[in-house]
A and B are shown apart, each in its own frame.
Chain A
Amino acid sequence: MFGNLTAAAFEHNWIVNAAVASMGLALVGVAALLTYLRRWRWLWREWLTTLDHKRIGVMYLVVAAVMLFKGGVDALMMRGQQAVAAGAAQGYLSANHYDQIFTAHGVTMIFFVAMPLVFGLFNLIIPLQIGSRDVAFPFLNAVSFWLFAAGAALFNASLAVGHFAATGWLAYPPLSELAYSPGVGVDYWIWCLQIAGIGSLLSGINFLATIITMRAPGMKLMKMPMFIWNALGTIVLVVFAFPVLTATLGMLFLDRFFSMHFFTAAAGGNAMMYVNLIWSWGHPEVYILVLPAFGIFSEVVSVFSEKKIFGYASMVAATAAITLLSFMVWLHHFFTMGAGADVNAFFGIATMVIAIPTGVKIFNWLFTMYKGRVHFTTPMYWFFGFVATFTLGGMAGVLMAVPAADFELHNSLFLVAHFHTMIVGGVLFGLFAGFTYWFPKFTGFKLDERLGKWAFWCWIVGFFLAFVPLYILGFMGATRRLDHYAASTGWQPLFIVAGIGAVIIAIGVLFQLAQIVVSILWRERYRDTTNGDPWNGRTLEWSVGTPVPVYNFAVIPNAAERDPLWEAKRRGCWPPKENPAYEDITLPRNSAVPVIIAALGFLFGFGIVWHIVWLALASAAGIVAALITRSCDNDTEYVISAAEVERMESQRMESRLQKP
């Protein structure tokens, strides 16, 4: 009846119990609050069943924020462990628990924080920047989000029921095979990634179709905003890379569930094939995360320098080059496999070549400021933080791209410091900049600048304190994933400094939280009084009112120039003098089907993890039934009449004029 699920799955140590209890309390608290405020219907109608890309975007960000908290706690626990676990002191975590934590930390931060931040921003921004009323496939978009949410839920369920993988975030076999990891941990890992990954793949297809087929009239490829170019590179990578992840996870699943031999040590399996496959997804994944950040900085630097982006064509070429090259470098993640000098040298050089377009981008950003008027807003602070950290991390990266040097640096804390520099300094700082920059577009008020800058200083100081020691520890021969180490190594002081750095970063996160809360509570003080264009923007998203109406654009704009809004403002034809001719607008109706599919997807994953075959089969059948039902539904859209659009637009104008 319950497969392998027994009462033992609910027995944990006190740390996990505390985590589960706080998770449960948080859920109960939210439920109680919704009941007290009588908001359940509102939640269901306005949010859970919505097909509006803007709301889906917001939901992505909410999940990302929750998961960032979880991943952050993981990080603090690891830093705590390594700060104390020298010599006879083995720390407060058992080896297996520590191993689960670093695995979970990587999975959380990459799949359930960085990815949803990227897709959240894509949802919020792409349709608006290309002058479209929606994404190409709104229903599919909701399915993608909810599958992602189901993956996140399954991941969190592993904390309460059973345990998570203790294999490292990429679960290399044979360690992740049944022979060495017999529990459910790796199965949870497979299925939370598989379900969320399929969501990402569908999102990629959706946004590819959106950018290619739904741009406003006049917006030729070479007129697209830089953010859109980077988004295009990102989703091309998603569409090409994620199927490989799906296939690889599928193979590992077959090995574990049906005792097959893709990657087993015995019976003709080949574990190195897994390492090749997973990195031929994994390296593009790095650029899936960092390209959107590049796009954000292109927007932010240009707007806050009041100057057009420097070297647009160079930037496009660099983006395309990075997209292409990112498929040709995966082997640099395992030079130490012993592939031979020619192969290693080829992949090492290919890796270094990526540094060229990346360097070009940085020079172009710097020259966007040159002869501009640079405003030191919070997003620009994040940009400078990015330049400081990313160039450092890039230097470390090129160092490791030299195979013979990598033999000494691979798997060390130098490597850990390197990729955190890229992902924190590159990806996260970029997404923070984008969040701050676009926040007023969707709320009508800005985020508090002072708290934002305090958060920035905590992050940057904490970052250097946390990761410079790790670079140094790498030179001391410290490897990653150690739950304790000999006192004679002399590493402990540096680990303590790194721990202090992590705490300072945590304080930075608290400032960010405070920034959001303060800005919401006293929103009148931060109110955007500029008709939805608080930063003197250049691109189309700033041409629509705030908050953005459900149809985005009452009239589809013309975008024959780069920076169309900026050009219109300069010519004095913005805001438009006379009322435009409105037309009927067709929009997708809400649908409960995506939520249902995701719920069934969660049950499917849970059933497979615990070998509850009937549950898995029933859930799969349910998903098919839900899809068939949806395909029979011919009433999936509704129309807002031209008259109604006109009424809504004039109402928006009036309410805006009444504001102080």
Chain B
Amino acid sequence: MNRFPLLDPKGIIGLDERNLMIVAAVLMLLVVIPVYIMAFVIARRYRAGNTGREYRPDWGSSWRYELAWWAFPCAVILVLSIITWQSSHALDPSQPIASPAAPLTIQVVALDWKWLFIYPQQHIASVNLAVIPVGTPIDFEITADAPMNSFWIPRLGGQIYAMPGMATHLHLMADVPGDYRGLSANFSGAGFSDMTFTARAESAGEFTAWAAGIAAATTTDPALTAPSFEALAKPSTAVAPVFYSSADPALYNEIVKQYVR
């Protein structure tokens, strides 16, 4: 299971989504398995060489049978529809996760071809490494200064598009510490295959220490300002993690708004 992030999630959202998939698949099997069995049995029983079987060439309709297979899929789909309606609302990515812990906001900018994470509460930023505290709901605010991408950490839950000029929200939470693979799921050009990042879930204490360390390292880590962002935004591939000891608090909104003007 270690290699199957979708089946072995490490966060509440991912877990709910996996369970949903299993329920839906089982419901579908209620239709699929009878179809497989019927196809096999009927074809075998009524093969041309199998003489002695009843042959009714004009038998072309039956209220009872037809009603049955309009009604049966209808029933299955009805159940699925209810599940769909409920799960769409319960797992709406823009909806905050109910939790006693105060949520952490991380602003995500998809760039050609790397991910920028701005921590507005910590006033720091990082590229291609998102450190998050375990057990804390994370509100990812997502945009792009590049073609459309899709922000996805499979082990924590589903994806959402990152689009220039627009801001989407994705609420996720990690329950177990670990390094999780994050990536762009929507093709965005030549460097797309390397547009991956690490989502590192640590304990709340470790996270605070990490953020403080970055903020303190003013000599090694530059500040994220409009000019340094512009330099960063230029296309580059397979970028190793970069850290910014401070981040312009207005930058994210400016990135979103630059296209709306």
Touching in the complex, A and B, CB below 8 A?
A: yes
A residues contacting B by CB (< 8 A) are 95-96, 99, 166-168, 172-175, 180, 265-266, 268, 271-272, 305-314, 334, 336-338, 340-342, 344-345, 348-349, 352-353, 355-356, 359-360, 362-364, 366-367, 369-376, 384, 387-388, 391-392, 394-395, 398-399, 401-412, 474-477, 479-486, 489-490
Most buried by B among A172, A374, A376, A483: A374
Q: Is B17 an interface position by the 8 A CB rule?
A: yes
A174 surroundings in chain B (CB, below 8 A): 147-148, 164
| Contact across chains for A406 and B191 when beta carbons are under 8 A apart | no
| Contact across chains for A395 and B28 when beta carbons are under 8 A apart | yes
A313 surroundings in chain B (CB, below 8 A): 61
Q: How far is the CA of A34 from the CA of B65 in the complex (A)?
A: 58
B61 surroundings in chain A (CB, below 8 A): 310-314
B21 surroundings in chain A (CB, below 8 A): 399, 402, 405, 408-409
CB nearest to B68 among chain A residues: A363
Segment of B36-44, B211-219, B222-230 in the binding face:
B36-44
CB nearest to B27 among chain A residues: A398
10 tightest A-B contacts by CB?
A407-B158, A175-B147, A477-B154, A345-B88, A404-B91, A411-B185, A363-B69, A265-B164, A341-B92, A359-B73
| Contact across chains for A372 and B6 when beta carbons are under 8 A apart | no
Q: Is B236 an interface position by the 8 A CB rule?
A: no
A370 surroundings in chain B (CB, below 8 A): 42, 46
Q: Given A391-B32, A399-B28: A410 and B48 within 8 A (CB)?
A: no
Please classify how large the interface on chain B is, using the bins under 10, 10 to 19, 20 to 34, 35 or more.
35 or more
CB distance from B242 to the nearest CB of A (A): 19
Most buried by A among B38, B88, B89: B88
Contact with A along B95-110 (1 / 0, CB 8 A): 1000000000000000
Q: Given A338-B94, A338-B160, A373-B55: A399 and B60 within 8 A (CB)?
A: no
| Contact across chains for A411 and B159 when beta carbons are under 8 A apart | yes
| Contact across chains for B77 and A345 when beta carbons are under 8 A apart | no
Q: How far is the CA of A412 from the CA of B181 in the complex (A)?
A: 14
Segment of B78-86, B117-125, B128-136, B201-209 in the binding face:
B78-86
CB nearest to A272 among chain B residues: B163
Q: Is B31 an interface position by the 8 A CB rule?
A: yes
CB distance from A305 to the nearest CB of B (A): 7
Known A-B contacts: A363-B65, A407-B160, A479-B185. Give 9 more (CB < 8 A).
A338-B94, A338-B169, A349-B85, A352-B77, A388-B39, A403-B87, A408-B17, A409-B6, A474-B6
Q: How far is the CA of A224 from the CA of B256 in the complex (A)?
A: 56
Q: Would you mind naming 7 contact pairs between A and B with Cβ atoms under 8 Å apart?
A: A174-B147, A342-B89, A348-B84, A371-B55, A373-B48, A477-B181, A490-B3
Contact with A along B155-193 (1 / 0, CB 8 A): 101111101111011000000000001011111111111
Q: How far is the CA of A166 from the CA of B147 in the complex (A)?
A: 13
| Contact across chains for B84 and A338 when beta carbons are under 8 A apart | no
| Contact across chains for B25 and A395 when beta carbons are under 8 A apart | yes
B residues contacting A by CB (< 8 A) are 3-7, 14, 16-18, 20-21, 24-25, 28-29, 31-32, 35-36, 38-39, 42-43, 46-48, 53-62, 65-66, 69-70, 72-74, 77, 80-81, 83-85, 87-95, 146-148, 150, 152, 154-155, 157-161, 163-166, 168-169, 181, 183-193, 196, 259-260
CB nearest to A369 among chain B residues: B42
B259 surroundings in chain A (CB, below 8 A): 265-266
Q: How far is the CA of A271 from the CA of B148 in the complex (A)?
A: 9
Q: How far is the CA of A344 from the CA of B87 in the complex (A)?
A: 10
CB nearest to A348 among chain B residues: B84
| Contact across chains for B69 and A175 when beta carbons are under 8 A apart | no
A353 surroundings in chain B (CB, below 8 A): 77, 81
| Contact across chains for A355 and B73 when beta carbons are under 8 A apart | yes
| Contact across chains for B39 and A384 when beta carbons are under 8 A apart | yes
CB distance from B8 to the nearest CB of A (A): 9
A481 surroundings in chain B (CB, below 8 A): 187, 192-193
Q: How far is the CA of A235 from the CA of B43 in the complex (A)?
A: 32
Q: Given A338-B169, A408-B21: A371 and B54 within 8 A (CB)?
A: yes
CB distance from A359 to the nearest CB of B (A): 4
| Contact across chains for A402 and B148 when beta carbons are under 8 A apart | no
CB nearest to B145 among chain A residues: A265
CB nearest to B196 among chain A residues: A486
CB distance from A361 to the nearest CB of B (A): 10
Q: Given A345-B88, A398-B24, A408-B14: A366 and B150 within 8 A (CB)?
A: no
Q: How far is the CA of A332 from the CA of B51 in the complex (A)?
A: 48
CB distance from A397 to the nearest CB of B (A): 9
CB distance from B186 to the nearest CB of A (A): 6
Q: How far is the CA of A362 from the CA of B165 in the complex (A)?
A: 45
| Contact across chains for A271 and B163 when beta carbons are under 8 A apart | yes
CB distance from A480 to the nearest CB of B (A): 7
B43 surroundings in chain A (CB, below 8 A): 369, 374, 376, 384
CB distance from A623 to the nearest CB of B (A): 35
Q: Given A175-B189, A265-B259: A312 and B60 within 8 A (CB)?
A: yes
Q: Given A336-B158, A395-B25, A476-B5: A404 and B90 within 8 A (CB)?
A: yes
| Contact across chains for A402 and B147 when beta carbons are under 8 A apart | no
| Contact across chains for A373 and B77 when beta carbons are under 8 A apart | no
CB distance from A603 to the nearest CB of B (A): 31
B56 surroundings in chain A (CB, below 8 A): 307, 371-372
